[in-house]
């Protein structure tokens, strides 16, 4: 597993970590391209964690994970592995629209069971929800300090200086999402202690990925960790792209 950039050709080091992974891991179709045929379903996470640095848990968007499930996940991976837990969609909507003081604790109360393996919670604001400063402030104000927060604000109206400032004041991370509907790649904006990038297009060329690697290098040199999450696919090809992304960043940085 490549977590750290090493010494580079000009004597400087990439001090931040590239934490690359995919959205979910429990896909039978990833065998045999990513999972060897002999890996049973119960062994998929351990195998995944032997090759990738992080995982954006997909199932937690549909059902809040139980303490027992969190314990099992934590026990299957090494201490330097990181989980990003997608906030359960109903609880996230309630936190945004109705009761952040009740819904935020409901979303986050069990996550400390992951210990150091907890990377963050990904709080997704649906694409149909336009910017509302008061609603965002309610979520940020109720958020527990011990759970790192990534906010994916999909409606274009959120992408203004006022939103960036609110996230920065709360040490929350703005998610950078790249998807097929965009004509050009989005800007990377630093609002929190690390970066979070979701690569959601259905196809990435080597040139596309080199471009993202090149854009991340200055942040990594400043010591920021960067999560890079590829969308899940049918056969595990994107897991292989994720596996090679840290080395791609080092190579792009080394050759300028």
Tokens of 235: 């056969």
In this prediction, residues 148-158 reach a mean pLDDT of 96
7 pLDDT band, cuts 50/70/90, is very low
Interacting residues of 190 by C-beta distance below 8 A, sequence separation 6+:
219, 224
CATH, domain range 18-255: 3.20.20.410
12 pLDDT band, cuts 50/70/90, is low
Contact 135, 106 (CB under 8 A): no
Tokens of 104: 């935020």
Q: What sections of the chain are H helices per DSSP? A: 44-51, 67-75, 89-97, 100-108, 133-142, 161-169, 206-221, 237-243, 245-255
Find the helix packing angle between 133-142 and 89-97, rounded to 10°.
110
Of 7-11, 114-118, 162-166, 200-204, the range with the lowest mean pLDDT is 7-11
Q: What is the pTM of this model?
A: 0.93
Q: Is the pLDDT at 8 greater than 70, yes or no?
A: no
13 pLDDT band, cuts 50/70/90, is low
Percent of the chain with pLDDT over 90: 90
The helix (run of H) or strand (run of E) holding residue 118 is: strand 118-125
Whole-number pLDDT of residue 1: 34
Backbone angles phi, psi at 223, to 5 degrees: 95, 5
- Give me the residue spans of the domains in the chain: 18-255
In this prediction, residues 7-34 reach a mean pLDDT of 83
């Amino acid at each position: 597993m490549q977590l750290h950039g090493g010494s580079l050709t000009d004597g400087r080091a990439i001090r931040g970590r590239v934490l690359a992974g995919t959205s979910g891991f429990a896909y039978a179709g990833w065998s045999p391209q990513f999972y060897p045929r002999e890996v049973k379903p119960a062994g998929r996470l351990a195998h995944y964690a032997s090759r990738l640095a992080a995982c954006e848990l997909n199932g937690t968007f549909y059902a809040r994970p139980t303490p027992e499930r969190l314990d099992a996940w934590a026990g299957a991976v090494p201490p330097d592995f990181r989980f990003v837990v997608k906030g359960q969609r109903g609880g996230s909507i309630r936190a945004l629209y109705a009761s952040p003081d009740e819904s935020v604790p409901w979303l986050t109360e069990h996550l400390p069971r992951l210990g150091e393996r907890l990377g963050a919670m990904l709080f997704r604001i649906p694409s149909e929800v336009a910017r509302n400063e008061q609603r965002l402030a309610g979520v940020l104000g109720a958020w527990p300090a011990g759970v790192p927060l990534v906010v994916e604000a999909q409606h274009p109206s959120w992408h203004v200086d006022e939103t960036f400032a609110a996230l920065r004041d709360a040490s929350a991370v703005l998610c950078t999402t790249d998807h097929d509907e965009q004509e050009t790649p989005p800007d990377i904006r630093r609002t929190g202690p690390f970066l979070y990038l979701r690569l959601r297009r259905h196809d990435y060329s080597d040139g596309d990925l080199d471009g993202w690697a090149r854009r991340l290098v200055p942040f990594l040199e400043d010591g920021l960790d960067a999560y890079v999450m590829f969308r899940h696919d049918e056969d595990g090809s994107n897991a292989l792209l994720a596996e090679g992304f840290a080395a791609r960043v080092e190579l792009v940085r080394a050759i300028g």
